[in-house]
Structure 1
Amino acid sequence: MSREAMSFVALLGGFTGIFMLLPYLVADFVHSMRALMANAGTVPMAQGGLLNSTNHAIEAGLSLAVPIAATVAVFCLAAGFLQTGFLIHPGSLLPKFERISPLAGFKRIAGGGTLPDTFKALAKFAVFAIIMWNISRNAIPTAARMVGLEPGPLLKMMSDLGFRAAAAMIGAQLVIAGADIFWMRFRHISKLKMSREDLKDEYKNTEGDPHVKGRQKALRAKAAKQRMMDAVKTSTVVVTNPTHYAVALVYERGGGGAPKIVAKGMDDVAARIREIAQDNRIPIVANPPLARALFTLPLDSEIPAEHFKVVAAIIAYVWKLKRPANRSAPLR
């Protein structure tokens, strides 16, 4: 909320009450006070006479002040609701120790957060001082003509002077309130924006810590690679480039499906696949065009139909090597 906006509507409400309601209320007030002062010497001191007169005076004063105060209150409530979007927070009415604590009050005054408010108050004071100085300077010739005037014309001249002063102050406060509303909204939006650290924390909370995710991804990749190397041990054949690519195929006789790719790699990974195949006596067949074509396919996928003929010939060759009569034949 902008305090300057609240000050503006308070001034406007007071201005409205004084110059629009006061003329209708003064007559009754003057009548009541005239009667009280005319009978002041006859008021009995005993039997509550003085108390009754005092009550009548207080009622007359309240009848003059309450409508003006109510006008100011209505203006302020309307401005508060407009600024907050009709948000009501009853918890703010609860008593809090820090509101009456001198130490907390000193911290608020000495804190850096009050410095902008201090500058605004000084600037506002300077503006109002300049306005009142100009009005007073222009009113000096008028003041000379007030000498010897009847009460009626004198009151009218003073009312006009007060009206000009109030209108000038309200106009200045309107400009100050507009600038303060803009500043408060800008500062509020700036505070709502997240800093770079806030963005990082939110990303960690929603997406996870990038370092942890990277570590988890590396662990998953390592586990997948280990599973792939374990699959080489049970593969049917390894097709190579012969050095750059290596693709391990598995085919179960009578399984009904096509041969499946269970491991693949290039360069160092291909060398490791060949090494595991040799250690486990898995046949290694060099066929560069087929190795490059199969390498582009995803793991655990069956080979496409266009490679059936070549792969079938390789698997038939592998099975022939595994016959008892060919136990002594080389596996590559």
Structure 2
Amino acid sequence: QRILSLAGVARGFWALARVILISAVVWWVLRGADGQIASLPDGTLGQSVSRAWDLASRLIVAVAGSLVVIGVGDYGVQWFRHEKSLMMTKQELKEEQKDEEGDPLLRNMRRQRARDIVTQRRMITEVPKATVVIMNPTHFAVALRYERGVTSAPVVVAKGRDSFALQIATKARRHGIPVIERKPLARALFKAAKVGQEIPQGLYFAVSEVLAYVYRLRGNAA
């Protein structure tokens, strides 16, 4: 309703502007012909008719010119309204498509979340095969598998942060996998190591100390 009322006010102003323009043109022509109008009764009938026709011709030309200007203005206004309506239509179409298909950003986020869930499920099934889980202590968890003579270096079988880190630790404890707290090492492994690949060489020494500790625990338990 507000848009309709504003459109009505705009049309009213434009109509008033047209009347004012034509009136101003007529006034301007008549003002410049004061002497000619005053001399209309003077002279012969033919002279009076000629003067009147000349004045009328100038009025017609002036009014016609103003009507041309008004017509151009009307065309410009209509063109602007048409282009604006097209822009609104395109935007409405985009919004409709967005509503039908869903926001692309949200759709991509949902897809990424689905991929993360699949990846986490796959990793959690690998935790029982791990040799040790290194934690920090609730923010990060990295599960490593190392078999002497089989793997040249420890391999990351799972890693996670926050709630998934707790899931990894819980799964490991249920299967008797040692969970060792090493805050800096857990953070470094989480950032630098990739699941399914060997740990970076720069972390060999720190991880070897943890593995040696785990082997000592197993030896004592035996």
Q: TM-score normalised by the shorter chain: which range applies?
A: 0.5 to 0.7
The number of equivalent residue pairs is 212
Question: Who is 2:155 aligned against?
Answer: 260
Q: Deviations over 1:239-285 (max 9, x none)?
A: 23455542111235555553232323345433322221122222333
Letter in 2 for 1:294: L
Equivalent residue runs for 1:58-97 within 5 Å: none
Deviation, structure 1 residue 303: 1.7
Equivalent residue runs for 1:1-332 within 5 Å: 120=14, 124=18, 127-128=21-22, 131-132=25-26, 135=30, 138=34, 140-145=37-42, 147-149=44-46, 156-177=50-71, 179-194=73-88, 200-201=95-96, 208-242=103-137, 245-251=140-146, 253-254=148-149, 258-300=153-195, 301-315=197-211, 318=214, 326=219, 329=221
Q: TM-score with structure 2 length normalisation?
A: 0.66
Structure 1's unaligned 5+ residue stretches are: 1-112
Question: Who is 2:3 aligned against?
Answer: none
CA separation in 2, counterparts of 1:174 and 1:236?
A: 90
Seen in structure 2, the aligned counterparts of structure 1 residues 267 and 316 have a Cα distance that, compared at 3 Å, is same
Check conservation: 1:204, 1:210, Cα contact below 8 A. no
SS at match of 1:170: helix
Q: TM-score with structure 1 length normalisation?
A: 0.48
Q: Deviations over 1:202-227 (max 9, x none)?
A: 65678845554444443333333322
Check conservation: 1:240, 1:284, Cα contact below 8 A. yes
Q: Deviations over 1:80-139 (max 9, x none)?
A: xxxxxxxxxxxxxxxxxxxxxxxxxxxxxxxxx899668756754565466557649956
CA separation in 2, counterparts of 1:240 and 1:130?
A: 87
SS at match of 2:141: strand
CA separation in 2, counterparts of 1:189 and 1:213?
A: 33
Structure 2's unaligned 5+ residue stretches are: 1-6
Check conservation: 2:193, 2:200, Cα contact below 8 A. no
Check conservation: 1:241, 1:292, Cα contact below 8 A. yes
Root mean square deviation of aligned Cα: 4.3
